Amino acid sequence: MWRHIASNAISFLIVALFLMGGVVLWGRGQYAAEGPLDTAMCFQVERGSNFGRVSRALEQQGAISSGSIFRMGANYQDKISQLKAGSFLIDTGASMEEIVDTITRGGASTCGTEVVYRIGVNRLRVQVRELDPSTNAFVERAEYDVGQDDAPEIYAKVRGEADTRYRIALAEGVTSWQVVESLKAMDVLEGDVAELPAEGALAPDSYEVRPGDDRASLLTKMEESQLQRVSSVWANRDDAVPLGSPEELLTLASIIEKETGLAEERGTVAAVFVNRLNRGMKLQTDPTVIYGVTQGQGVLGRGLRRSELRRATPWNTYVIDGLPPTPIANPGLASLEAAANPPESDFIFFVADGTGGHAFAATLEEHNANVANWRRIEAERANSNN
C-alpha cells in the first residue's frame, strides 16, 4: 500500500514539475514575444518609481500583456534594481524583454523634450523640440538666438524638468574662440575655461551633455575626438598629397571647410588647393585673409578691402607661400578626408557662380571668363537692390 502511495506521489511530482517547466517556458516565450503596442509611445519613468508601478502603467497603456510576467522577467534578468528615471521611446510591438532593456540601460532618455544648442559661424541658436513617437521625428516647440532674442518661457519650463535632454551641435568651420564663447553663454554648463583650445583642435559633432557638466571637460572631449579623426585620416592619406604632417592636414582641411559652399564640391575644392601646392602657386584664398584680420574672434561682417588683401599676416595666402602656420577654423571629418584624398583634377582656379557653389577652371583664360560672369551677376544683383 505504502509503495503504491509513494509511486503515485512521485508520479504527481513529475507531472507537476513537467507542468511547471511548461509554464516557465511559456512565460519566457511571452516575455520575449512581440508586444501588443500598435503605436510607438514615449513612456516616462518618474524618479523614485519601481517595477511594480512601471508594470501597471505599461499594462494600462497597452504596451505589455502581463505585468506579472514583465516583473518576473526583469527579476530573472537581475534588472529590478537597475530601473532608470527618464522618458523612453517604446517602439511598436516591442517585447517585454526589449522594454525592460530600454528602461534599465544607461539612464539616458530616448524621447521627450530635447534642448539643442547649435553653435554656428554667425550665431548660437537654441532649439526646444519634442520627439513625436508616432513618426520618430522631432517637432520644434521654440527657437531663439542667444544674445539677440529673449529666451521663451518654454525654455525655462523644460530646464526645470528632470527628464529634459541636452545636446550641443558644433557646426563645421567655427573657430575655437566662437566655441568657447558659445559654451560660456550656455546656462546648462558650469566651470571656467582657463585656456583657449588651439585652432582646429575641436571636432565638429553632436555632444550629449547634462546640467552641471564642466565646460573644460567638454572641450577636452572635443579635442580628443578631433585628434582621433586626424590620426585616422592621416594614416589613410594619399602619399602623393604634398602634406608633411597631421598639422598641415588639419590646416588644409580648415581652408577647404571655409571655402566649400556646397558639400558636393568639397573634393574639387581640395583638388584645386593640392594642385596649387604641387605647382608652387600661392593658395590665394579669402578666408585666410579674413582670419588674419579677425584672428578667429567673431565674424568680419563686410567685404575684404584691397589693403587687407595686400597686408602681410601669417595667414594671408595672397602674400605667403604654401600653407598658413595654423588652421583657420575647426574642420569636419569630410574636409579632413578631402584634404587627405582629393580626386584627380586639372583645376587650379575657382570663383563663385551665383548659386552658392563655384565655377572651376584649369586655365587662366577659362577662369577669367568665369570671373567676368560672376562680376556680371554681382552687378545685376546690385541694380535689382537699388
**What rounded mean pLDDT belongs to the chain?**
87
Q: Does residue 220 sit in the same domain as residue 266?
A: no
Number of domains in the chain: 3
The model's pLDDT over 57-100, given as tens digits with 9 standing for 90+, comes to 888 888 888 888 888 888 878 888 888 877 787 888 888 888 88
Closest residue by Cα to residue 126 from 143, 150, 141, 109: 143
Q: Does residue 279 sit in the same domain as residue 223?
A: no
CA separation for the pair 147, 233 (Å, rounded): 37
Mean pLDDT in residue range 8-20: 51
Alpha helices in the chain (DSSP H): 2-32, 51-60, 67-76, 96-104, 153-159, 176-184, 215-235, 246-259, 266-279, 286-294, 306-310, 333-340, 364-385
Place of cell 511547471: 20
pLDDT at 107: 60
Q: Does residue 146 sit in the same domain as residue 199?
A: yes
Contact 323, 283 (CB under 8 A): yes
What length is written for the chain?
386
Q: Which of 104, 136, 164 is the last residue of a domain?
A: 104
pLDDT at 2: 47
Q: Does residue 96 sit in the same domain as residue 133?
A: no
Query: DSSP character for 241?
Result: S
Burial of 66 (0-12, 13-18, 19+ CB in 10 A): middle
CA separation for the pair 373, 382 (Å, rounded): 14
Q: Does residue 166 sit in the same domain as residue 307?
A: no
pLDDT at 115: 93
CA separation for the pair 95, 82 (Å, rounded): 18
Q: For residue 13, tell me if it sits in a domain.
A: no
Domain range for 299 is 236-385
Closest residue by Cα to residue 146 from 180, 110, 107, 186: 186
pLDDT at 355: 83
CA separation for the pair 32, 67 (Å, rounded): 14
pLDDT over 70 at 268, yes or no? yes
CA separation for the pair 213, 198 (Å, rounded): 21
pTM of the model: 0.78
Q: Does residue 124 sit in the same domain as residue 211?
A: yes
Q: Does residue 242 sit in the same domain as residue 377?
A: yes
